[in-house]
Amino acid sequence: MRGGFSPEQLEALRAIDTPTISNAIELYKVRDRTEGFMGFDVKCQFPDLGVMLGYAVTAICDNRPGPVAGRQAYFKWLEAIEQSPKPVICVFQDVSPSRPHSCYFGEVMSNCAQKVGAIGLVTDGGVRDLAEAKALGFHYFSPGAVASHGNFAITQVGIPVTISGVTVTPGDLIHADRNGVLVIPDAVVEQLPDGVEQIRARERRTLEYVHSPDFTLAGLVDIMSH
């Protein structure tokens, strides 16, 4: 089973904002700079909750007219959370024909998921019961909220899913905040704190020059070219 980074490693990453993590990942050239992060179609619903960091437990979800599906996959999903390294982030891909009318998480789902080890949700489908989920401290990253749960069903658990163009596999380490959602490659986790310090030093040097009385455009070009 993937995961197993130390509490100290996770705590260090949790203390850093997601854009800085993204910039630091670029230093190690493990993927193209256009990959690994979700777009603004997946929005942070509760910015005040701060950084969300955890391991992905994935599921495919659907919402179609007709008989309500059974709950066997729902129970399998809860078992997957319980068996996963913690903390868990639920990652739900919506394959329904009308995603703006889908809803896969509300008060009951948030409470159940939290009880077995989840701290939040990333989905391209809908959510609801915003006040109740926020009061729990349960993160929602979603296009938006809808009033009804519709005819929701979990159809598959523990397979790769694709949300906002990003493929997430079970056990992926996810970092997210008010700026968006990012998948951290396992290969760079240990180096990231050093990379973050490099990024911060570079940005600090640039900003100090921008606000200095000696600022010139030529000087800025020189600093940003090295």
Q: What is the pTM of this model?
A: 0.93
Burial 107-144 (b: 16+ CB within 10 A, else e): bebbeebbebbbbbbbbbbbbbbbeebbebebbbbbbe
Name the one residue in this structure whose structure tokens are 């959510």.
Answer: 127
The CATH architecture of the domain made up of 7-184 is 3-Layer(bba) Sandwich (3.50)
Digitized pLDDT (tens) for each residue of the chain, 226 residues in all: 567 799 999 999 999 999 999 999 999 999 999 999 999 999 999 999 999 999 999 999 998 887 776 778 889 999 999 999 999 999 999 999 888 888 989 999 999 999 999 999 999 999 999 999 999 999 999 999 999 888 888 999 999 999 999 999 999 999 999 999 999 999 999 999 999 999 999 999 999 999 999 999 999 999 988 7
> If you compute the radius of gyration of the chain from its CA atoms, what whole number of angstroms results?
19
Give domain limits for the chain. 7-184, 194-224
